[in-house]
Structures are given as C-alpha cells and as structure tokens.
Amino acid sequence: MYESRVLSGMRPTGALHLGHYHGVLRNWVRLQSEFPCLYFVADWHALTTDYQNPGDVQKSGQDMVVDWLAAGVDPSQATLFVQSLVPEHAELHLLLSMIAPLGWLERVPTYKDQLEKLSDRDLATYGFLGYPLLQSADILIYRAKYVPVGEDQVPHVEFTREIARRFNHLYGRDAGFEDKAKAAAKKMGAKKARLWHELRKKFLEQGDGEALKRAQALLDGQQNLSRGDLERLYGWLEGTGKRILVEPDALLTEASRMPGLDGQKMSKSYGNAIALRDEPDAVTRKIRTMPTDPARVKRSDPGNPDKCPVWPLHQVYSDQARRAWVREGCTTAGIGCLECKQPVIDGVLAELAPIRERAQTYLDDPTLVKNILADGCDRARRLATETMRDVREAMGLLYS
Ligand code: TRP
Ligand code: SF4
C-alpha cells in the first residue's frame, strides 16, 4: 500500500490565536513527522459564506500561514499550499457534482445549522449548498487516508466517504473488471491468493468484518503488485469497483483545552482571544484584566476557582503543586487575583516567545512564505494531477 496521507484545510481568518494552537496546530505538528501531510489555505471555502465581503484573501491567507510556521509546522516535512492555486480541486468538484445527490447535500447537518446561524447573509446559493462537496474534492484529490478535523466537520468526512464509494461503484467497473481483478490476485502467489479469495467470500457472503480486515492487511503487505492492480483488489474486495478514490477517515481533533479570557470558547469574534503574535505587554494586560470569580469583590473575600475563568488556564499552564496553591489561596483569600494570575502570564509568555520569534523571521522576509507556498503548490499539483488522470479516464474524458 502506498503511504497514508493526511490532509487538512483551514479557512483564511488572518492571525491565529492560542485556541488554534492548543487545538489544531499542535496536532498538525505532531502528525507531520508521522505521515506525509498536506495542509492548505481553504480560500474558496471562505468565499462560500463570505462572498459579499471577501476582504484581502491573499493577505489573510499568508498571515495564517505565518502562524502555522511559527507554531512549528515544518515545510520540509509537510506540504503547505493554497486551494485556489491548485485549480484541479475545482475540476474534481465539478465532476463529482454530476454524481452528488441533492438530498445528500441538503441532509449534511452543517447546512441547516449554518443557514440559521448566519441568517444575516444570503446563503441561498449554489456554492454554499455544494461546499461539503468541495471539501470532498479537496480530500479525494490527494487520496488522503486521514483527515484531522473538529467534531463539527466529521459529517463532511462521512459524506466524502459516501461520494467516494458512489464514484468507485459507478466508474470502477471498467471492461473486464472481474477478470483483471482475478488475474491480479494470482500475482500474490497461489497460496496467498487462495486465502484471500476465502476471506473475500466470508466478508461478502457473511459480512465478516474480521475477514475484511485480514484480506485488506494481506493487500497492504503486497509489494509486487502495481497500484492499479491493488486498487482493483481493494475495490473488488469491498464489492464496489476499482478503488479510484480512497475513502478517508476523520482524525478527530480534541477540543482545545485553551478557553477564552471570559471562559467561553476562544474566538477572535468574541474578543476573548490571545493572538499568537500578541506583544508581551498586550498579553499581560489581557490576562490582568480578565474577569475572576465575581464573589471576590474585595481582596479579603474568599473565592472559588470553579467559578473563575482563570482556573482553566492553570490547568493548561500550572503543575499540581501550583494548582494546589491556587485552590488553597483562593478559597481562604490567602492570595490576591493578580498574584494568582502571574504564573499564567508567565506560562503564556514562555509559550509564545519562540512562536513570536519564528513568526518574526517570516515577517521580516515575506518572500520566504511566498516560496514555501509556491513549492507546496507545485507538489500538491503533481499529486492532484495523478488522481485527475485516473478520474478523467474513469469518466471517459481522457483525450489523447
Ligand atoms: N471546511 C473546513 C472548515 O470550514 C475547512 C476545510 C476545507 C477542510 N476543506 C477541507 C478541512 C478538507 C479538512 C479537509 O473548517
Ligand atoms: Fe480566580 Fe485565582 Fe482570583 Fe481565585 S484567586 S478568583 S482562581 S484569579
């Protein structure tokens, strides 16, 4: 089997904050050393909801990439690119739109949710309805196996699996599909091929999931079969057709442990965020002016950390001993709130210092980011082109 690719995208929102860092970005950084990873600026996705006010998409995309790099995303390990600079995404989106049932799109849970939430905009558009399909194209065009996303996006990955299955079912049965699959199985050697056929039968006739896994594992271990043969066998095994598009799995990103300054989810639009590039002075001021347990009106009033938005920050930045000190000091009015906040301030500043420093390198020389994205786009395009060749061929569009 070829290596499992990871793909994820983020809408260009400009400067990122600590919530992104503790949720998404640290996860991306961890994955980049384990898998070939592709991370991209989802600029077309931003237009599906913000077409009336696109703003400076290029600038906010580049700012966001500076923050990815500052957080430790490494362009020598991961491929970083911009969606709209790999126009093959649009071609695949168009071709998939031919087979995407309207009912499936209307039933995606984010569709109605967002329509209600963003009621100030006119989202009765074709682009907005089709946005999960655009996301499917983003994923399928790289044959990505893993898609790190937050909980709200899991239905989109599920939808993508269904689209891939439908595509493979419709177009994976080239002339002589079964004969070719049987011939491919023979190449595993007589003994393995026999075992494999038995496992396939067990799965297809009795729904034996264990047999499916073992049969897939057998294919995973094959080194002497061509990719075309392998995809035929994976597809034949699952009862679809040749596996032209790969069904991805969601890698659920844990919710960020980093709440906002008011205890709500950290978000730029709530005004409760610490940006990754906030100056130390601003960070200090933001934390010093954070609300605390409202019961502590005077320094001598005891408080309760469970009712204070500073407490969750201690869970991110303080060890056991420090947390015990907070509990004791707060509930007995032994410490003041500013005293209590100081270790959090120190923790945030220590975390942000190397991030700010790395960001500065990229801010000082904007061509660095441009070059990283240009390289990334090249690499992404090469991979996308390979898939599109197979997709065009499957749909009868390979002109020579
Ligand atoms: N839809 C995602 C969001 O709004 C961003 C996104 C676009 C994405 N394409 C993707 C995420 C592909 C993962 C994979 O957050
Ligand atoms: Fe919050 Fe700390 Fe003040 Fe207690 S002492 S109310 S935990 S800031």
Per-residue model confidence as pLDDT tens for the chain (400 residues)? 457 999 999 999 888 999 999 999 999 999 999 999 999 999 999 999 999 998 899 999 999 999 999 999 999 999 999 999 999 999 999 999 999 999 999 999 989 998 999 999 999 999 999 999 999 999 999 999 999 999 999 999 999 999 999 999 999 988 888 999 999 999 999 999 999 999 999 998 898 999 999 999 999 999 889 988 998 999 999 888 889 999 999 999 988 888 999 999 999 889 999 999 999 999 999 999 999 999 999 999 999 999 999 999 999 999 999 999 999 999 999 999 999 999 999 999 999 999 999 999 999 999 999 999 999 999 999 999 999 999 999 999 988 7
Give 167-231 as a DSSP string.
Answer: HHHHHS--TTHHHHHHHHHHTT-HHHHHHHHHHHHHHHHH--HHHHHHHHHHHHT--SS-HHHHH
Q: Which residue in 51, 52, 38 sits closest to 10, CA to CA?
A: 38
* CATH superfamily label, 277-363: Tyrosyl-Transfer RNA Synthetase (1.10.240.10)
Determine the residue of 286, 289, 292 to mutate for testing ligand 2's pocket, defined as the one with the most ligand atoms within 8 A of the Cβ atom. Answer: 292
DSSP character at residue 239: T
Q: What's the DSSP call for residue 116? A: H
Q: Which two tokens stand for residue 137?
A: 């194209």
248 by Cβ neighbours in 10 Å (0-12 / 13-18 / 19+) ranks as buried
Select from 189, 208, 192 the least CA-distant residue to 200. 208
Please identify, by atom number, the ligand 2 atom nearest to the C-alpha of residue 305.
7
Nearest CA to ligand 1 atom 9: 135
Mutate to test the pocket of ligand 1, among 110, 138, 157 (most ligand atoms within 8 A of CB): 138
List Cβ neighbours of 68 (8 Å cut-off, separation of 6 or more). Answer: 16, 25, 28, 39, 80
Q: Is the distance from CB of 24 to CB of 11 less than 8 angstroms?
A: no
| Prediction pTM value | 0.91
Distance (angstroms) between ligand 2 centre and the Cα of 301 equals 11
Ligand 1: does its nearest atom lie under 6 Å from the Cβ of 137? no
Backbone angles phi, psi at 251, to 5 degrees: -105, 105
Q: What does DSSP assign to residue 263?
A: S
9 touches ligand 1 (CB under 6 Å) = yes
Kindly report, as residue ranges, where domains of CATH 1.10.240.10 are found in the chain. 277-363
Ligand that lies nearest to the alpha carbon of residue 344, given by its number in the listed order:
2
Residues in contact with 23: Cβ distance below 8 Å, sequence separation at least 6, in sequence order: 150, 253, 254, 255, 256, 258
What per-residue string of b and e applies to 62-73 under the rule 16 or more CB within 10 Å gives b?
bbbbbbbbbbbb
Compute φ and ψ for 37, nearest 5 degrees.
Answer: -115, 145
- Name the closest-CA residue to atom 4, ligand 2: 330
Determine if ligand 1 sits within 6 Å of the CB of residue 42.
Answer: yes
Closest residue by CA, ligand 1 atom 11: 9
**Ligand 2 neighbours by CB, cut-off 6 Å:** 292-293, 296, 303, 305, 308, 310-311, 326, 330, 335, 337, 340-341
Phi–psi pair at 81, nearest 5 degrees: -155, 175
Nearest Cα to Cα of residue 377 among 88, 44, 74: 88
**Contact predicate 266/259, CB 8 Å:** yes
| Closest residue to atom 7 of ligand 2, CA basis | 305
Ligand 2: atom nearest CA of 335 is: 5
Cβ atoms of 116 and 128 within 8 Å: the answer is no
| Exposed / middle / buried, residue 102 (Cβ in 10 Å: 0-12, 13-18, 19+) | exposed
CATH topology of domain 2-172+251-257+365-394: Rossmann fold (3.40.50)
Closest-CA residue to 304 (of 295, 291, 312): 295
Residues 382-395: tens digit of each pLDDT? 999 999 999 999 99
- Local structure of residue 299 (DSSP, 8 states): T
Measured in angstroms, how far is the CA atom of residue 41 from the centroid of ligand 1? 9
